[in-house]
């Protein structure tokens, strides 16, 4: 989805963007006026992937908004687990959910090694069964606030 990001340092912070901005998004200063070599922007592989294309994975995204252009590094995050078809199961104050959209910008961690084909075939039924369990009632959800 996002092949790469640009990372640069400015005003004492590491800043990640899709391209080099004219102004620093943190302080508003000229982003390119006085870069030293060690502060020069570098291109890095993007850790952001479409969670709906990640099979059998742990996926993480901001609770509100998106990682790119909106996330400030301190807002709440939300997690889910994807099925073999990219359906994301997650839990919040209204209970468990299955989403086919909304997890397009995630950090993903595969949960099933590729050589465990037998588990891949059972993954969706386990996920469906687990998400229907009694302990996922909305009243048990704790937001941490």
The residues of the shown chain that bind Zn ion, judged by CB under 5 A, are 10-11, 24, 26-27
Give least dist CB 26 to Zn ion, A: 4
Alpha-carbon distance of 51 to 54, in angstroms, equals 5
Q: Whole-number minimum distance, CB 125 to Zn ion, in Å?
A: 50
Nearer to Zn ion, 9 or 18 (CB): 9
Would you tell me how many other CB atoms lie within 10 Å of the CB of residue 129? 10
Residue 46 to residue 31: CA distance in whole angstroms: 21
- Closest CB to Zn ion among residues 27, 40: 27
Q: Supply 29's token pair.
A: 């200063």
Q: How far is the CB of 11 from Zn ion (least distance, A)?
A: 3
Cβ proximity to Zn ion, 3 vs 72, nearer residue: 72
CA 52 to chain centre: 11
């Amino acid at each position: 989805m996002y092949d790469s990001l640009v990372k640069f340092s400015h005003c004492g912070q590491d800043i990640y963007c899709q391209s080099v901005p004219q102004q620093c998004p943190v302080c508003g200063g000229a982003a390119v006026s006085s870069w030293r070599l060690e502060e020069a922007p570098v291109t890095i592989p993007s850790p952001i992937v479409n969670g709906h294309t990640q099979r059998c994975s742990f996926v993480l995204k901001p609770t509100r908004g998106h990682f790119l252009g909106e996330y400030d590094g301190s807002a709440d995050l939300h997690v889910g687990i994807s099925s073999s078809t990219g359906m994301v199961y997650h839990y919040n104050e209204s209970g468990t959910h299955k989403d086919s959209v909304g997890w397009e910008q995630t950090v993903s961690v595969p949960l099933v090694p590729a050589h465990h084909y037998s588990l891949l075939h059972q993954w969706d039924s386990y996920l469906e069964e687990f998400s229907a369990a009694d302990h996922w009632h909305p009243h048990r959800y704790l937001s941490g606030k």
